[in-house]
């Protein structure tokens, strides 16, 4: 195993802070810098799995299950029962494990209600029409403000567009799973240049999240480290972000943020998994149907992106 923590799966437990507060386990996935989560009601042991990865090697186009296996091992170790399989958005940098986890656990899977609009954008880019049907591939498409039970706890959905037009945040007590909106305070915020994303909407989503109570634990979707930090991190409070986030701390002007974010995004290449991942994620984490030889094949657009 590597001595570099950024090349090693890392697990940390953020314990419940009291009544109405969930236990949270964060599981760092080193190949994509993604953080996967288990959110559990301490009283009933009912759990939600959030943004779990189906491992994909983009050099050899092969899949493996070590990340979801690690998550399920933690579920078993802590005596949890999976009640929900959740994703915050159709990820561009990793393939979602949603369909596999639904099959393994029997729990319903869910994502945001605007994902069909994202699917239409990518259906045009892939020239794959009548293929993506999120209402078919997810059991629930959650709307802004919708609530649902996790054991005796309540989870609430916030629409958080910007990174994608249909990203959602899950809020459970003093825990919020804020996906590709915030990074850690020393890294700022996430990109907003994918089709359907806008920096102005991302700013608004960030401000909505910062309006949560100051002691709310924000659990981010990714960490790539910084020049001054050599271990992955993924948890900070609203108060910590308001005081220290290098992009949006208190006193930051909207127009300055938008200019800074757009300048940075203009330098970023597409993630190496995006064209495979979205074609699978918009099917709920399923491969395209097998062809007559039993194999599965992806369609990749050429010269569609700068």
The 3-state secondary structure of 87-136, one letter per residue? CCCCCCCCEECHHHHHHHHCCCEEEECCHHHHHHHHHHHHCCCCCCCHHH
Assess contact for 241 and 218: CB atoms under 8 A. Answer: yes
pLDDT at 37 over 80: yes
pLDDT greater than 50 at residue 101: yes
In this prediction, residue 2 carries a pLDDT of: 52
Domains of the chain (ranges plus CATH)?
A: 8-274 (3.60.15.10)
Q: Is the pLDDT of residue 1 over 70?
A: no
CB-based contacts of 243, cutoff 8 Å, min separation 6? 185, 249, 250
- pLDDT tens per residue, range 260-286: 999 999 999 999 999 999 999 999 999
* Beta pairing partners, 46: 81
Pairing of strands 153-159, 62-64: unpaired
Cα dihedral across residues 292, 295, 296, 298: positive or negative: negative
Arithmetic mean of pLDDT, 38-48 = 98
Q: Categorize the per-residue pLDDT at 230 as very low, low, confident or very high, splitting at 50, 70 and 90.
A: confident
**Residues 171, 235, 193, 264, CA torsion sign:** positive
What digits encode the pLDDT tens for the residues 157-198?
Answer: 999 999 999 999 999 999 999 999 999 999 999 999 999 999
**How much is the pLDDT for 80?**
98
The pLDDT score that the predictor gives to residue 3 is 66
Q: To the nearest whole number, what is the mean pLDDT of the chain?
A: 96
pLDDT attached to residue 142: 98
115-157 pLDDT per residue, tens: 999 999 999 999 999 999 999 999 999 999 999 999 999 999 9
């Amino acid at each position: 195993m590597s001595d570099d923590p950024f090349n090693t799966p890392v697990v940390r437990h953020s314990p419940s802070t009291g009544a109405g507060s969930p236990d949270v386990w964060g599981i760092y996935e080193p190949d994509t810098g993604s953080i996967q989560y288990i959110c559990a009601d301490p009283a009933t042991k009912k759990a939600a799995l959030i943004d779990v990865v189906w491992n994909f090697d983009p050099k050899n186009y092969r899949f493996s299950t070590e990340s979801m296996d690690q998550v399920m091992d933690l579920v078993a170790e802590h005596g949890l029962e999976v009640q929900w399989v959740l994703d915050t958005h159709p990820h561009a940098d990793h393939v979602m494990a949603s369909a596999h986890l639904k099959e393994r656990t029997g729990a319903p899977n869910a994502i945001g209600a605007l994902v069909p609009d994202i699917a239409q954008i990518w259906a045009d880019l892939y020239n794959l029409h009548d293929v993506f049907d999120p209402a078919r591939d997810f059991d629930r498409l959650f709307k802004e403000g919708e609530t649902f039970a996790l054991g005796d706890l309540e989870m609430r959905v916030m629409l958080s567009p910007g990174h994608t037009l249909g990203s959602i945040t899950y809020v459970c007590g003093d825990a919020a799973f804020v996906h590709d909106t915030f990074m850690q305070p020393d890294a700022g915020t996430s990109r907003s240049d994918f089709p359907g994303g806008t920096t102005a909407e991302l700013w608004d989503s960030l401000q909505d999240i910062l309006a949560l109570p100051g002691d709310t634990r924000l659990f981010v979707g990714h960490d790539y480290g910084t020049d001054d930090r050599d271990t992955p991190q993924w948890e900070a409070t609203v108060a910590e972000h308001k005081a220290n986030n290098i992009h949006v701390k208190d006193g930051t002007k909207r127009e300055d943020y938008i200019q800074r974010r757009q300048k940075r995004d203009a330098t970023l290449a597409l993630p190496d998994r995006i064209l495979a991942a979205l074609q699978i994620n918009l099917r709920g984490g399923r491969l395209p149907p097998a062809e007559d030889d039993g194999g599965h094949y992806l369609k990749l657009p050429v010269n569609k992106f700068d």
